[in-house]
A and B are shown apart, each in its own frame.
Chain A
Amino acid sequence: MAGPTSLRRRIGLIVNPIAGMGGKVGLRGTDGDELQRRARELGATEMAAERAGVALDRLRGQGFTLTVAGGAMGEKVAREHGFETEVTGRFGCHTSPDDTRDAALAMADSGVELIMFAGGDGTARVIRESIGRRIPVVGIPTGVKMHSGCFARSPAAAADVVAEYLGHDPGSVRLDEAEVVDRDADDPKATTTLYGTVSVPEARSRLLAAKSRSSGRDAAAMRGACLEVVEEMVPGDTYVIGPGSTMGWVRRHLGFQSDPLAIDVVRDRELIAGDVTEAELDELTAEAGRVHLVMGVIGGQGSLLGRGNQQIGPKTLERVDPGDLIVVADLQKLIELGSSPLTVDTGDTDIDRRFTGYRPVRIGRKESLIYEVAA
């Protein structure tokens, strides 16, 4: 398969060397210098490179050019596993989020087709900030927190996603949007926050079904489910549209788009307030008649309502009849929760209790799944 270098496909690799160090020593993440120091003190070792190595071994002989971030951020492990590489940037052993940001940007600028990265949710966040959806990414699960939709099930599965990607002509691979979410590592009760989306290669078979990644068919189901929600909108009622990639379909059917993090308010199928704050939403719903909430499920943790979408505060939630909470979620995403319930964690147990129990989740047009919601 070898050809002139210029014709070879180029895949990037970024390793966050400190990702995952916290897990073995009981920390929930290694974001920030302080947690890193504690992790090292507790005897944590760098496992990101090791996991990246597993993925690389599996990609040997695929005939692509590997572009790596320098030093511990990819170059070293690629060498050790016998890969000839192109290197962007030189990074020492003390790396920072800025290094990840720079490496991702340099790769996207230089024509790398897809970036593999070894890290957790924190790394995914930084990469999203840096390159957005310019080129697809595949996460090699390494960190302690991996609730974002861009991670494969395992390093081997990540390699399989990349191998499948390489099996297609550049540009002919269908891409999906995956949510990037994260939680505060210091706070055990923290709920997931959505930071935006990245682009990922579409999963073609279940083998590749990475955590909470929708395939093309599921995207059609989500499109249909959201269309039905829009069709059923009752004139005069107020609809609060939640954040996330699935809710993007509700917005598209209504004829507008907004940031994946935004919360919008709709009445008579018209946007009446975009990207509202908690106070604005409270004010709007106070004057409204019947209020419906239309929500997706955020991240691989099944978070439905919580401090992650703080704009929907207790005042608004009190006005919503639990039967008027419309949830739309990809079936595969629910299956991958491994039968753990969807969660509501608004900080107010009385409000939480109102929304718990077995509830319908729309999984397609005219299709719903009864799923447990717990506080």
Chain B
Amino acid sequence: MSGLRRYHAPVWDEPVVMEMGSPGRRGFIPPAAGDADTAGFVPDSMKRGERAGLPELSEAEVQRHYIHLAQETLGMMGVNLFGTCTIKYSPLLGERISADHIAELHPGQDPETIQGVLAVLHGMSEILCELSGMDQFVFQAGGGADAAYVNAVTTRAYHADRGELEQRNEIITTIQTHPCNAATAAAAGFKVVTLMLGEDGYPPLEALEAAVSERTAGMMIGNPDDMGIYNPEIKQWVDLVHEAGGLCFYDHANFNGAMSKLRARELGFDACMFMLHKTFAAPFGGGGPAVGAYGCSSELEPYMPRPLVREQGGSYSLEDVDEAPKSVGRVREYWGNVPQIVKAYSWVRSMGAEGIRFASDMSVLANNYMEKRLLEIPGLSISHPDIKSRRLEMTRYSLGKLQEDTGVTVFDVQNRMVDFGVDAPWLSHEPWLVPEPITPEAGETWPIEDLDYWIDVLAQVCREAYEDPEIVKTAPHNQAIGPVDGSRLDEPDQWATTWRAYKRKHGDRPKGRTSP
């Protein structure tokens, strides 16, 4: 074997917290309320009939339990080149600033007392306006998909205000644009018209021409798309949609390869979104907290969510829903995940314009460096091998040949890669356009040694697939758990996401002694 690390994850067989502990055990016992009058404090209608079925454990047990679980996550701590996600290192400084300065604030405070954080929100909006050419940003959305939803409802409000909503009920997207765009358009009540890719790796202009009509409410697309392919005809696209009377939204979540190189507004887009938990180095994973920053032109500003931070003569205030009658209102409580905004702000300020440009170049360079080495691996090929232009910050590959030759699937490859201490790679959103897809994204923060190690791991796993496929098919071997049988994953009688549902479906499990 090459110089790969000898790795093994801790194995704990950690039980579910509900199966641990013992009646009466406590972590912290608060002083009794004494003779304070609590009558009527909780309305009768809200009182429980029975005590809640909570786990009963000591503080140390709880700590240990969660440390064990953290060690059993199969990743998000190793080299993680998870494509379409732009995994970057999140500097600890941002963590400290938000812990030390933000945790104690409350958005309900008088704005006079929180001028600093309002200045940060305002500043972040200005920076994103500079990067995109838009006129105003809002940070309420709790993630990228949520920001796409903000666009769908803003588009809806815009057409409704002009009396055209009934007629304009279609949103155009492309098959390699992140599926949250189609999903949120549908959630907002639109029909979804999707364009298939053409020979160049992006849809032909004629397909768009066939799609636009008086029914077009807007277009929601990413560029580069999830394959890392940039559509150079984008300006004509925007023009076509505008001529038909639709609005154009740029899903800028995959901004790394394009940041500082182009501005959405200059390409004609009316709105765009950035993900602060991706491109702007706020922590990512575990389902949040995240921030989808939504920005739009001054024409759409009346419709976008409120509250917005306004500045006048160096003092900041909040413009709320009641001051913006056409606004779609709130899509979430307060102003969004402020600690994340502060982390992103501290990152972007420390990078500066030069740093942003350099990071963008590095992410494209790193991806193309990886491409050269990856294409030497037998069994692996690139999507759209004939197109001449280079991919930007990520590339879609296929392990279809490996699967044909050996029976080893890309899921098996994922499972085996984690045996070497790297995180499972991202495959592709649905639908799969190439067989057995895999989509690494290098980003700018991983040192070249990490990229090489990741490539070495993939090369090793592919070699094993040809020489000893069983090793790969039965992986993981060095992880916290073995392979999981996912074949009945969509059967509701099998799975439970809460303890109560588990007991209902499977009956009580005997409570054993579980403390190691």
Q: Which A residues fall within an 8 A CB radius of B?
A: 58, 153-154, 156-157, 160, 164, 167-168, 204-207, 216, 331-332, 334-335, 339, 357-360, 363, 366-372
Contact = CB atoms under 8 A, between A and B. Distances in A.
A370 B431 contact: no
B209 interface: yes
B210 A369 contact: no
Given A160-B407, A358-B206, A206 B435 contact: yes
Interface stretch (B53-61, B152-160, B187-195): B187-195
Given A58-B407, A358-B209, A370-B210, A334 B191 contact: no
Contacts of B197: 339
Contacts of B199: 339
B487 A334 contact: no
A205 B431 CA distance: 12
16 contacts: A58-B407, A153-B404, A157-B404, A168-B487, A205-B411, A207-B403, A339-B198, A357-B206, A358-B206, A359-B210, A368-B194, A369-B193, A370-B203, A370-B207, A370-B211, A372-B196
B260 interface: no
A366 B403 contact: no
A58 B182 CA distance: 40
Interface residues of B, number: 33
Q: Which 10 A-B pairs have the closest CB atoms?
A: A358-B210, A366-B191, A370-B207, A358-B207, A207-B409, A369-B194, A370-B211, A367-B192, A370-B195, A206-B432
Contacts of A164: 487
Contacts of B209: 358
Contacts, number: 75
Given A370-B193, A370-B203, 13 more contacts: A153-B435, A164-B487, A168-B487, A205-B409, A206-B435, A339-B198, A357-B206, A358-B211, A359-B210, A368-B194, A369-B194, A370-B208, A372-B207
A157 B195 CA distance: 29
A156 B407 contact: yes
Nearest to A207: B409
Interface string B185-225: 01000111111111100011011111100000000000000
A372 B186 CA distance: 24
Contact of B196 (A204, A205, A334, A357): A334
B153 to A, nearest CB: 17
B457 to A, nearest CB: 22
B117 interface: no
Contacts of B211: 358, 360, 370
Q: In this complex, which of A358, A367, A372 has the most chain B Cβ atoms within 10 angstroms of its Cβ?
A: A358
B210 A335 contact: no
B18 interface: no
B192 A371 contact: no
Nearest to A369: B194
Interface of B: 175, 182, 186, 190-199, 203-204, 206-211, 403-404, 407, 409, 411, 431-433, 435-436, 487, 490
Nearest to B169: A366
A168 B196 CA distance: 36
A335 B193 contact: no
A366 B192 contact: yes
A163 to B, nearest CB: 10
A371 B197 CA distance: 9
A358 B198 CA distance: 12
Contacts of B195: 369-370
B403 A331 contact: no
Contacts of A360: 193, 210-211
A73 B411 CA distance: 35
B2 to A, nearest CB: 28
A188 B431 CA distance: 33
A226 to B, nearest CB: 16
A369 B186 contact: no
A175 to B, nearest CB: 16
Q: In this complex, which of B191, B194, B436 has the most chain A Cβ atoms within 10 angstroms of its Cβ?
A: B194
Contacts of B206: 357-358
A335 B433 contact: yes
Nearest to B427: A206
A369 B431 CA distance: 13
B192 A370 contact: no
A154 B404 contact: yes
Contacts of A168: 487
A43 to B, nearest CB: 27
A125 B211 CA distance: 38
A359 B210 CA distance: 7
Given A164-B487, A206-B435, A156 B194 contact: no
A125 B175 CA distance: 34
B175 A369 contact: yes
B194 A370 contact: yes
A360 B197 CA distance: 14
Contact of A167 (B186, B192, B435, B487): B487
Contacts of A332: 431
Contacts of A167: 487
Nearest to B408: A207
A149 B208 CA distance: 30
Contacts of B435: 153, 206
Nearest to A163: B407
Contacts of A205: 409, 411
Contacts of B207: 358, 370, 372
